[in-house]
Amino acid sequence: MNTRRLFKEDVYLQETTAKITNIIKEPDRTVITLDQTLFFPTGGGQSCDKGTLGGFDVVDVYETPDEIFHAIAMDEAEADKLQIDDEVVLKLDWTHRFDNMQRHCGEHILSGKFYELYGGVNRGFHMGDDYMTIDISLEDDPAYDKITWEMAKAAELATNQAIWANLPVITRHFEDRKEAENLPLRKKLAFDEDITIVCVGAIENPADCVACCGTHPSTSGQVGMVKLYKVESNKGMFRIYFEAGERAFRQYQERFDVMTTLENKLSAGFADLLDKYQAQQDKNKGVRDELYHLKKWVVAKEIDDIKSQMCPAFVRKYDKLSINDLLDVGKELKGLIPTVAFLVHEPSNTVLIFTDKHDAGKLVKENADIYGGKGGGNKNSARAIFSKAEYVDTFIDLIEKHIR
């Protein structure tokens, strides 16, 4: 390796100096390699470190087997200020690094507990902006063929118990797999050399032990907490949604604040919040049912009234009934309209046209845009929507003259 990876030697080192070994100028950034670096590159499901290099923001870090590349936010003129062999100061964004350490270690312990309790093997890991996920395959214990929410909560409790025990988190590096395979790994090794094993707790009975290249705190207690949110089936496996560390704590605070607001709105305590909520839902359903039947009655009365007063170029305006209500009215007028019926929804300046003798869609298409209207429809019914109420009457008057 040409780049010395300092994060493997001391994960808590936050600032150091390094010598530039190469400078690659790109159109919108400059990529720099160093003789040594603090910056962990994107990999293993974990995002790269953030921070500064020579005072410039590091926007991306990626690697090859030999080098780590640091993408810097600088233009070509600024890049000219740096030269190969220059010594630069590296500073980590420690908040971002420790966030990754908490989350990644929390994932390790949770995966270890799913394996310990149910023989669940972690086949996928993702650290998103709002939550993390692991994909658990139930393949090592035939006693289990699904993960229920109760099973997930048991794994969550066991994970947090391991965190509260403040177990040592030991990272060991091996040149080849021979020695590494002597450890109680929960997952078979996928490579043969340059192997890093992370073990949470004693080797005799670890909370987790697995190959990993990421960054982790020195003790499990620094993870703080792990909180599960959801379990769902996914491609023959089970996807677990969760969060860890300060993120989990802050999300807990936000959700608790929402719950407290609901308690206050419903005049409920935590113990009877769900009962009060259900009672409110039942009450709302009763009101909705009453409103539904009342509107059906009003619409039926309106249909009867229109039928008794139907005339050519019939116009009626509404400010209480919805557009869907007016469509229901129009459907019942089929076969009874001498020329055209206009039902106007005043709140939205919408004209609904119903006709048995003309082409409603064509009437809208050929005339609505004269007044800035838009809409469409079919031969028997159409609608035109206008920006101003004054255009509604003008449009209706135009259609009336057109069909005379």
Which CATH superfamily does the domain covering 98-252 fall into?
A: Threonyl-trna Synthetase; Chain A, domain 2 (3.30.980.10)
What is the per-residue pLDDT for 403? 84
What is the per-residue pLDDT for 355? 95
> In the chain, what is the greatest distance between 2 CA atoms, to the nearest angstrom?
96
* Tokens linked to 210: 């697995």
What is the per-residue pLDDT for 78? 81
Strands 132-138 and 169-176: unpaired
CA 374 to chain CA centroid, nearest Å? 36
CATH number of 310-403: 3.10.310.40
Within a 13 Å sphere around the CA of 314, how many CA atoms are in the beta-carbon half?
Answer: 22
Give the integer Cα–Cα distance in Å for 222 and 238: 27
At 344, the pLDDT band (50, 70, 90 cuts) reads very high
At 1, the pLDDT band (50, 70, 90 cuts) reads low
Report which DSSP code applies to 352. E
Contact of 160 with 185, CB cutoff 8 Å: no
pLDDT of residue 44 exceeding 80: no
Report which DSSP code applies to 267. T
The model's pLDDT over 54-79, given as tens digits with 9 standing for 90+, comes to: 999 999 999 988 899 999 988 777 87
Q: Chain-wide mean pLDDT for the chain?
A: 93
One-character DSSP codes across 67-95:
-EEEEE---HHHHTT--TT-EEEEEE-HH
* Tokens linked to 214: 């990421």
What is the per-residue pLDDT for 375? 94
pLDDT of residue 316 exceeding 90: yes
Q: Which pTM value belongs to this model?
A: 0.77
* Residue range 108-120: mean pLDDT, rounded: 96
The model's pLDDT over 360-391, given as tens digits with 9 standing for 90+, comes to: 999 999 999 999 999 999 999 999 999 999 99
User: Which residue stretches of 55-171 are H helix?
Assistant: 76-79, 94-118, 149-164
Residue found by looking up tokens 């909520």 in the block? 277
The model's pLDDT over 141-190, given as tens digits with 9 standing for 90+, comes to: 889 999 999 999 999 999 999 999 999 999 998 888 888 888 999 988 87
The domain made up of 4-92 is a member of CATH 3.30.1490.20: no
Higher pLDDT, 7 or 191: 7
Domain boundaries along the sequence of the chain: 4-92, 98-252, 310-403
Give the integer Cα–Cα distance in Å for 339 and 356: 7
